[in-house]
Amino acid sequence: MGKEPAAPREQRHSQLLRGVLDLCLLALIAERPRFGYEIVEALGESGLELVSEGSIYPLLARMERNGLADTYRAPSPSGGAPRKYYRPTEAGLAELEAGRTAWLAFRGAVDQALSAGAPTEDTPEEGK
């Protein structure tokens, strides 16, 4: 005993983000160059409020290392540490496009799987 997860409900969110978080980042920096802090806020506005900096900085660094994004620095206009702006490379844009497709397919598959045994089930799917 004592090995209970204790918070299985909130943990689901963490697991859900996997495999999609990098895509979201790519989409965000594809819209326009952004820096870390800004991205956290942008994600929050999308409804992904639980994403924190500890999640995205390593991810951003990995993307840069893998050649999906490149960066440049610029001083902070409001005083403070200089900002590091991220912007997708060609490879990054390609990855984003592939990822969008994968997400759409996955989303459809999960929707269908979850519709099984749904409570609102009038869906009179023909008997096979």
* Residues in contact with DNA by the rule CB under 7 A: 5-6, 8, 11, 13-15, 17-19, 21-22, 35-38, 50-55, 57-62, 75-76, 78-84
Bridge-based pairing state of the strands 69-74 and 83-88: antiparallel
Helices 36-46, 21-31: axis angle to 10 degrees equals 110
Place of tokens 């819209």: 31
User: What part of residues 41-80 is at the interface with a second copy (CB under 8 A)?
Assistant: 42-43, 46-48, 66
55/24 Cα distance (integer angstroms): 13
67/3 Cα distance (integer angstroms): 40
Q: Does 1 bind a second copy (CB under 8 A)?
A: no
Q: Does 100 bind a second copy (CB under 8 A)?
A: yes
Q: Does 9 bind a second copy (CB under 8 A)?
A: yes
3-class state of residue 116 by DSSP: coil
Question: The tokens of 39 are what?
Answer: 């991205």
Considering only 23, 38, 55, 89, the residue that binds a second copy (CB under 8 A) is 23
Return residues touching a second copy (CB under 8 A).
8-9, 12-20, 23-24, 27-32, 42-43, 46-48, 66, 97-100, 102-103, 105-119, 123, 125
